[in-house]
Structure 1
């Protein structure tokens, strides 16, 4: 194996190890709260491409292409971490042949998509080996459609990695402007408002220096909104408890990730804020209040959607709403626990929401 290929694979493995370490707490929460339900989620991994093959050929082809593009989005989110800007600038002058770059990108994309391939294989086995199969499920077409979707996802992921490796590194900012600005006289600035402090101390660090915290929270927010919309729409192919489970789990994980990012940033700011005319305690509580105001937006949308769908008309609906609205202040305002205590608290919130949500429309 070429040295360049080995380097790219080792860089990918290091990135995956770091990502696994960062997502360890969320993974423990999901396993503790859901447990056997994960097998049910694994069974539906290949359900979209299998079902798309039962449509007319042109429609099936379009749906499979869209599904493959959607499955390659995580690679687009991980690309800045798999090939950081500093490494890209170091690799740019090297004479890497296009064929070698393509082979390395294919191997890296295959390494990233290996869990998806295993999930597809397990889902196909679960659906095809059962005796009572749905009428729309044709084994050969289901296998061919799933294989086509996975290969197209692999090709899209490889294209994203090749494009990221060929993209020229961003030029470094010149210090001439900063030196000229430093030579000018000092002009006192007005005291910054809270919006300025929130943006520069808490919002921008989510997206800078290769951080994936902002992308993770954006993905969880989008997943929460999509799962909630499916839950309230009540499609025929999706059981009602499954929609409640997905919406509840993603909502709790979204709040947990946002609170975890805020607590981590407050810890990093302690030394920096010590010499500024800001009280660390006041800054923390104002940041938590702003976070709770932001977390209320998806809950408001979900509450309005439930009112339109008639979900909050029974005791289970009232209980789910009360738990969902009280979960944010509970997780954000409680003092820091031990990691196990925090995991238990988040898992308890997830279990209660899943249990009450599954009773709605049931």
Structure 2
């Protein structure tokens, strides 16, 4: 029996409360990174807020093809928070529970609109503040098209709300049934092969290492890239950003002070290891109850996974060492000090190990460790060209 119109409100209240709880959890998890963000981007935070509404305002001064591109980009930017938080706003367990229920499509659409509005309304306040900043500055290019610019900004927010609603509605949709391949072999009885502990102990060292690497890939590497998990993408972006920052830092373009790139490299390097270690710790907490009965030395695998969180940071440090110490003959002509580069590498290595090994620190203690490491790395890096 389909739920009546009067019974839509409980589902709507459930979705709204779940969205509020998701936002509270997100803010709580975001609080540990707030210190890093304020350290790296605190001075330009007002400028970033002012730039939120700039594409929509500037679109009114451009020809319609460029204006359409800016308008669409602004709408996608407005819908990005809902897309990034879709797993928190509508978890997989809730989807599995809700899909068999006789909830009308109208109720799901109303709930998706309301949940998207919970995210869009605070974002609209930030856009309003950004628009007010530009209207207060009143530049020459904005004066002839101010009404159209404000309408385009409001329209981009409305379109972002619509796109956000579609993102949530698509997540609520029942997935299509999997199609079986025509040449799929017929099912056969499954006979499990459980390796004994004696055979595992008697295995050679290379074989055990290969087995541990295979288990690490299956339990830690692949989950970070599957099921809408953003850890793999997050770590890749941080890694590429750190490598690029170091390259530009040593390239030393005249338009930007080298200390700024040194600060960016230190910030991304420490965030890379800190976020990676946090993701591995959460995955271990998820696997520990299940893996307790597995016939494998699971604690050794967990220890190996924690150590593997150092690999991206070591790659960044190796890149820095290659660009500085790898060209010792060019150090004098380049103008930087190899002694300072060595000290930077040594302290960066100690900081990376400290983030991984000091696991009993509180949240504030860990934030203090990372921030102090970033500050010291910036101080050392500022002496590279002296």
Other-structure match for 2:134? 127
Structure 1 residue corresponding to 2:156, chosen from 149, 157, 165:
149
Structure 2 spans left out of the alignment, 5+ residues? 1-7, 179-185, 201-207, 327-333
Distance in 1 (CA, whole Å) between partners of 2:192 and 2:224 is 33
Shifted more, 6-15 versus 347-356: the winner is 347-356
Shift of 1:292: 1.9
Distance in 2 (CA, whole Å) between partners of 1:127 and 1:360 is 39
Distance in 2 (CA, whole Å) between partners of 1:339 and 1:119 is 29
Structure 1 residue corresponding to 2:169, chosen from 162, 176, 195:
162
Shift of 1:276: 5.3
Structure 2 residue corresponding to 1:201, chosen from 190, 205, 219:
219
Structure 1 residue corresponding to 2:234, chosen from 219, 238, 242:
219
Tell me how many residue pairs correspond in the alignment.
345
Spell out, residue by residue over 1:106-160, the C-alpha distance to the aligned partner (whole angstroms, 9 max, x if none): 2111112233222222222223313xx5554456254334323322221111111
Q: Note if contact 1:29-1:344 (Cα within 8 Å) is conserved in structure 2.
A: no
Shift of 1:178: 11
Larger Cα-atom Rg: 2
Shift of 1:47: 3.4
Q: Note if contact 1:227-1:243 (Cα within 8 Å) is conserved in structure 2.
A: no
Spell out, residue by residue over 1:196-238, the C-alpha distance to the aligned partner (whole angstroms, 9 max, x if none): 1212332345467x7x7x4145235426646975994999999
Closer/same/farther in 2, CA of residues 103 and 264 from structure 1, 3 Å limit: closer
Distance in 2 (CA, whole Å) between partners of 1:243 and 1:166 is 45
Distance in 1 (CA, whole Å) between partners of 2:158 and 2:11 is 24
Distance in 1 (CA, whole Å) between partners of 2:224 and 2:368 is 26
Structure possessing the higher relative contact order (Cα contacts under 8 Å, 6 or more residues apart): 1
Other-structure match for 2:297? 278
Distance in 2 (CA, whole Å) between partners of 1:359 and 1:125 is 41
Shifted more, 326-335 versus 146-155: the winner is 326-335
Structure 1 spans left out of the alignment, 5+ residues? 172-176
Shifted more, 101-110 versus 241-250: the winner is 241-250
Q: Note if contact 1:319-1:356 (Cα within 8 Å) is conserved in structure 2.
A: no
Distance in 2 (CA, whole Å) between partners of 1:354 and 1:46 is 32
Q: Note if contact 2:15-2:111 (Cα within 8 Å) is conserved in structure 1.
A: yes
Structure 1 residue corresponding to 2:363, chosen from 339, 350, 360:
339
Distance in 2 (CA, whole Å) between partners of 1:227 and 1:158 is 35
Q: Secondary structure at the match of 2:162?
A: helix
Q: Secondary structure at the match of 1:348?
A: helix
Q: Note if contact 2:112-2:168 (Cα within 8 Å) is conserved in structure 1.
A: yes
State the TM-score, normalized to the length of structure 1: 0.72
Q: Secondary structure at the match of 1:193?
A: helix
State the TM-score, normalized to the length of structure 2: 0.68
